[in-house]
């Protein structure tokens, strides 16, 4: 038994070693990737749950690696956060997403979709974050109401005056602010009173359980009711089944996103998508 334990330990050590090497490799490659312009954005529709009409699209970054092919964000966002590379990467994502959203205005002039952009804590905390976003909007000619900034609960934890003030400045300018992965973090609803936001994105882990757990469904109903009281819109993430959609509609959830409606798609497929999904 002892030697089996030792074997397990060795395997554990080896896999840890491999993970460290892999992360170091990702880190050097990331540096190069920013220089090479090896990133691209996919867009996933956010729909009105009742009608299925697209209201917005979330920008999701992809890394086209020279030898490893397409690398999903879960494999490099964290490394980029740790090394600080998330700042230039995030700046690129913001500019690019805003410029792309400006091209959607012509496709649906009366009712253009918004673009929703993920912003990491580190990126948000850079001194000129707000100025830069405003400059990007002005340059692209995108009205501020067509940009949503997705932040995570962890940004609000520190009770940082500057962060609160910057969220206020974004909203004052007409940009919408959304809390991403709502419910996975600290679930302290109290910050919603202190820091007003426009939207909550209910995490997929909730959506996945509502069809099998009455308790979870009650919890989700409660969150949606609270959001309604605070005039916060709710987007449910990761909807994969018609059953979940129906339960969410019944719970008065306004919006949804997930494979049931559409997968994230490259920019050139978005135009066709937008011209076909009107009611
Ligand atoms: P997220 O913000 O929660 O984005 C939603 C993720 O769920 C996306 O994964 C999307 O492809 C996936 N998804 C959407 N609908 C479904 C569904 O019905 N079923 C399943 N199983 N998955 C679904 P993706 O694109 O791999 O992104 C993963 C995470 O990486 C994102 O999670 C976000 O936290 C981060 N990320 C992506 N792009 C950026 C970016 O530009 N900046 C930053 N800071 N983070 C980003
Ligand atoms: Ca997101
Ligand atoms: Ca999310
Ligand atoms: Ca999520």
Query: Using one digit for the tens of pLDDT, what is the confidence trace for 161-210?
Result: 999 999 999 999 999 999 999 987 665 677 787 888 999 999 999 999 99
Distance, CA 46 to ligand 1 centroid (Å)?
A: 13
Q: Give phi and psi for 13, each to the nearest 5.
A: -60, -45
Distance, CA 13 to ligand 3 centroid (Å)?
A: 32
185, with CB counted inside 10 A (0-12, 13-18, 19+), is middle
Find the residues whose C-beta lies inside 6 A of ligand 1.
44, 60-61, 72-74, 77, 90, 93, 118, 120, 180-181, 237-240, 257-259, 264
- Predicted TM-score of the model (pTM): 0.92
Q: Give the count of alpha carbons within 13 A of 98, CB side only.
A: 24
Complex-level ipTM beyond the 0.95 threshold: yes
Distance, CA 271 to ligand 3 centroid (Å)?
A: 23
pLDDT tens string 215-254: 999 999 999 999 999 999 999 999 999 999 999 999 999 9
Closest listed residue to residue 79, CA positions, set 13, 124, 21: 21
**Is 123:91 a contact under the CB 8 Å cutoff?**
yes
* Full DSSP string of 99-125: HHHHHHTTTSTTSPPEEEEE--HHHHT
Helix or strand run (H / E) with residue 12 = helix 2-36
Closest listed residue to residue 105, CA positions, set 132, 145, 133: 145
């Amino acid at each position: 038994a002892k030697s089996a334990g030792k074997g397990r330990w060795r395997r554990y050590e080896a896999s840890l070693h491999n993970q460290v090497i892999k992360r170091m490799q990702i880190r050097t490659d990331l540096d190069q990737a920013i220089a090479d312009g090896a990133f691209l954005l996919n867009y996933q529709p956010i729909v009105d749950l009742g009608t299925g009409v697209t209201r917005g699209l979330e920008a999701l970054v992809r890394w086209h690696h020279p030898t490893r092919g397409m690398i999903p964000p879960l494999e490099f966002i964290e490394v980029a956060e740790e090394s600080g590379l998330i700042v230039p990467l995030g700046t690129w994502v913001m500019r690019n997403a805003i410029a792309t959203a400006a091209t959607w205005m012509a496709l649906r002039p009366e009712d253009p979709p918004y673009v929703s952009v993920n912003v990491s804590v580190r990126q948000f905390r850079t001194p000129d974050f707000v100025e830069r976003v405003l400059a990007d909007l002005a340059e692209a000619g995108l009205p501020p109401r067509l940009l949503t900034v997705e932040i995570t609960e962890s940004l609000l934890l520190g009770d940082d005056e500057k962060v609160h003030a910057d969220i206020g400045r974004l909203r004052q300018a007409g940009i919408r602010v959304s809390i991403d992965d709502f419910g996975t973090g600290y679930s302290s609803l109290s910050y919603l009173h202190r820091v007003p936001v426009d939207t909550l994105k209910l995490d997929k882990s909730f959506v996945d359980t509502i069809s099998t757990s009455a308790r979870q469904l009650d919890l989700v109903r409660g969150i949606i009711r609270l959001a309604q009281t605070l005039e916060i819109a709710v987007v449910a993430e990761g909807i994969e089944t018609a059953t979940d959609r129906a339960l969410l509609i019944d719970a008065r959830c306004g919006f949804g996103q997930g494979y049931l409606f559409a997968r994230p798609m490259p920019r050139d497929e978005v135009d066709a998508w937008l011209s076909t999904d009107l009611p």
